[in-house]
Amino acid sequence: MDIEALKREVARIRWFHRMDLGHGIVTPGENSTQQTLTRLGFPDSFAGLTVLDVGAWDGFYSFEAERRGAVRVLATDHFCWSGAGWGTKQGFELARRVLNSRVEDRDIDVLDLSPESVGVFDVVLFTGVLYHMRHPLLALERVASVTGRWLILETALDMLWSRRPALAFYPKDDLNRDWTNWFAPNLAALEAMLRTVGFQTIKLISNYSLPVRIARAAKWKLEGRGGFLRTVGQGRAVVHAWR
């Protein structure tokens, strides 16, 4: 492999996932994937399991599931691969080739997922996607329909001060100056939505603590990215759910 040529290929792509391609090359992604991976609570092994990665983008979590022994991994995306966002499929395709991966791919929207369109998988990864959905409950319904056993979900949260199920609606770029963010639930709403679409057992794996949220709110206020009190009520969480 021509390492210098590979470096040039990597440099031509705008990456979202930071991942190690080997040969001393780490993609300059905007997302610190190793930190998120620590929060996700992946098992040490996916041996014998099939995995669907919904909203795969550059494919870091797809390739990680394969590395941990999944017998089949299907990466799906639409918005980041061929939609209106700035992402492309180039990072995924380059990483798959360099990693000599057998991860499959399918360009399909979340709302088009069904057992007929993609099949049913033992494990479904749904990370960093829910709050980008204009129809979040419908999106969860579609995801549930292709989940055979176990869902690993990571999402933004809001209205954490409320014990009642509630979702915050972002009609513009109210969340992190990103116009693709639409809704974020609080924990009560997230659990209720998951139960509504058929998940029986739900476990909170990780959640931003109050001190972390306060520190982030102070930083964002200094950067002009949001009011302090509102931002304290926002966070992120990882939930595992089983049928």
**Amino acid 201: pLDDT:** 98
CA atoms of 138 and 144, how far apart (whole Å): 10
CA atoms of 192 and 214, how far apart (whole Å): 26
**Amino acid 222: pLDDT:** 87
For residue 145, what are the domain limits? 3-208+237-242
CA atoms of 235 and 209, how far apart (whole Å): 8
Q: What is the pTM of this model?
A: 0.94
Residues of the chain with pLDDT under 70: none
Q: What is the CATH number of the domain that holds 131?
A: 3.40.50.150
For residue 106 the two structure tokens come to 């399918």
CA atoms of 66 and 172, how far apart (whole Å): 37
**Amino acid 138: pLDDT:** 98
**Amino acid 176: pLDDT:** 76
Q: List CB contacts of 98: < 8 A, sequence separation 6 or more.
A: 1, 6, 21, 22
Is residue 37 in some structural domain? Answer: yes
Domains in the chain, number: 1
